[in-house]
Amino acid sequence: MGKTLVMKFGGTSVGNAAAIGQVVEIVQQARDSGEWSRVAVVVSAMSKVTDKLLAGAQAAASGETVQAERLASEMWEQHIAALRELAPQTPEVEETIAAYLDEFAAICHAISILGEASPRALDAVASLGERMSAPLVAEALTRAGIPACAVDAAEVVVTDEVFQGASPDMAITQARVEARLLPLCEAGQVPVVTGFIGATPGGVVTTLGRGGSDYSAAILSVALGADEVWIWTDVDGVMTADPRIVPDARTLPDLMFREMSELAFYGAKVLHPKTIRPVIERKIALWVKNTFNPAHPGTRILPDNGVTHGAIRAVTAFKGQQLITVEGRGMLGVPGIAARTFAAVARTHTSISMISQASSEQSICFSVPLASGGAVTHALEDEFHRELARRDIDRISASEEFAIVTVVGAGMRHTPGIAGQIFGALGAGGVNVIAIAQGSSECNISLMVAAGEADAAMRAIHALIE
């Protein structure tokens, strides 16, 4: 039967001709190694392209179409410069890219007339980046003598209609992958599939959410029955912290599934949080590696096996959060307040990242994304209007912007005094902790701090990692 390898290359990894040259070498090596009977590639949009597409659409919604024109010409330059270097004289690919940029201009025009960009329109726009990069990468591979062809994931990944955060229907996707991708692989071709996107059963393009190309790689690995999936990015693997914030962060040789899930959920951008579970459940080996340093082994994500190294393994943070507090002495011992609070939040389709309740039950506080704070507060005022009128609930309030800093390590549960060390380090660093929550798995401790203190908090905690 032979083994199957899926490799995903992120935005920086396909960001210019030199980077794509690296991708070609990596694919070549995988083929030359003789280890893999089938190799499939998933690509992101070239770096910054998704941001530009979305910025153009947002500007169009507020009536500025010049912005979209300027961005379209920047994106054209970026793609064409790479194409001309890697595969000169490829009018078909140039035409494909031009056609997608025309589509971008047309959708932005429509958005400017409507004066608003719906989630569906934003997905149509955002999907164009991967649709431009895939033919470019496929052409570069072909020119280097590797038979390759671009595949639009809208033809294979079938999703629900939740625009900007769609979930796949694995049964239909599996059938499409078997019909469309597998024959290519069997014929010795390398399919270059667009990450990030899918389509509803009716064929309307959706996206899996920002950073979703990692998730695409997971979906396709499962559907292809892959043995391994390698996520190629721009750092040596999963690190003890984001190296942009903590300069002395180190690469972790391995990390357990639970640890990686917590890190990803709490903001470590290196892997999309939905990537990990499907891959681990199918026992597909998952690696994170550096396109620009392929000799480095990277990080292996392991199934939870009970073996733990060290106590604190990594620290992460995500900003843009708001603390919502429901408080009042009349809440004391009254059953059902928490249930009603969270039901009201759920009606706004907001997801809560962290919850903390004082033992006196006089207050419940939890965090939501800044953008949802207003809607959540209104929903709660609505739900509790009687309690508010009777003064059983004194206040429903929303804080300033803050950040959640999460400390991760499966070994923390066996190590006494970790929380003490963390608070000691934060105290010495002058960071004020607003609220705390510890996961029941004890694999993570999350702390809310003022947004402006998040970086200092990460550095202080990072210094505790052995």
Q: Which residues of this chain interact with ligand ASP, rule CB under 6 A?
A: 10-11, 44-45, 50, 129, 195-196, 210-213
Taking phi first (over 0 means left), then psi (-120 to 50 degrees means alpha), and beta for anything else, what does residue 194 get? beta
- For position 15 contacting Mg ion by CB under 5 A, the verdict is no
- Rounded to a whole number of angstroms, the minimum distance from the CB of residue 214 to Mg ion is 6
* Least distance (Å) between residue 270 CB and ligand ASP: 11
- Residue 41 contacts which entry, ligand ADP, ligand ASP, Mg ion, none (Cβ below 5-8 A, type-dependent): none
Q: Which residue has the tokens 């038979």?
A: 147
Closest CB to ligand ASP among 47 and 316? 47
CB of 199 or CB of 465, closer to ligand ADP: 465
CA 289 to chain centre: 16
211-250 b/e with 16+ CB inside 10 Å = b?
Answer: bbbbbbbbbbbbbbebbbbbbbbbbbbbbbbbbebbeebe
Query: Does 237 interact with Mg ion (rule: CB under 5 A)?
Result: no
Quick one: what does residue 268 bind among ligand ASP, ligand ADP, Mg ion, none, with the CB cut-off 5 to 8 Å set by partner type? ligand ADP
Distances from the Cα of 31 to the Cα of 24, 70, 147, 152, angstroms: 11, 40, 11, 23
Which stretches of the chain bind ligand ADP, using CB under 6 A? Answer: 10-13, 44, 211, 233-235, 238-239, 241-244, 268-270, 314, 316
Using the rule CB under 5 A, is 211 a contact of Mg ion? yes
Smallest Cα–Cα separation from 85: which of 11, 45, 140, 27?
140
Of residues 185 and 217, the one with the C-beta less far from ligand ADP: 217
- Size of the chain, expressed as the number of residues it contains: 466
Minimum distance between the CB of residue 51 and ligand ADP, rounded to whole angstroms?
Answer: 11
> In the bound complex, what is the minimum distance in angstroms from residue 97's beta carbon to ligand ADP?
20
Question: How crowded is the C-beta side of 62, counted as CA atoms within 13 Å?
Answer: 6
Q: Point out the residue whose Cβ comes nearest to Mg ion.
A: 211
Instruction: Find which of ligand ADP, Mg ion, ligand ASP, none residue 45 binds, CB within 5 to 8 Å per kind.
Output: ligand ASP
For residues 289 and 217, is the Cβ–Cβ distance under 8 A?
no
Q: Which does 195 bind (CB under 5 to 8 A by kind): ligand ADP, Mg ion, ligand ASP, none?
A: ligand ASP
Query: What amino acid occupies position 284?
Result: I
The listed partner (Mg ion, ligand ADP, ligand ASP, none) that binds 12, CB under 5 to 8 Å by sort, is ligand ADP
Q: Which is nearer to ligand ADP, 44 or 127 (CB)?
A: 44
Alpha carbons 176 and 170: distance in angstroms, whole number: 10
Query: By C-alpha distance, which of 80, 13, 4, 59 is closest to 35?
Result: 4
Beta bridge partners of 149: 191
The entry of ligand ADP, Mg ion, ligand ASP, none near residue 141 (CB within 5 to 8 angstroms by kind) is none
Residue 241 touches which of ligand ASP, ligand ADP, Mg ion, none (CB < 5 to 8 A by kind)? ligand ADP
360 backbone dihedrals φ, ψ, rounded to 5°: -75, -10
Q: Tell me which residues touch Mg ion (CB under 5 A).
A: 10, 211
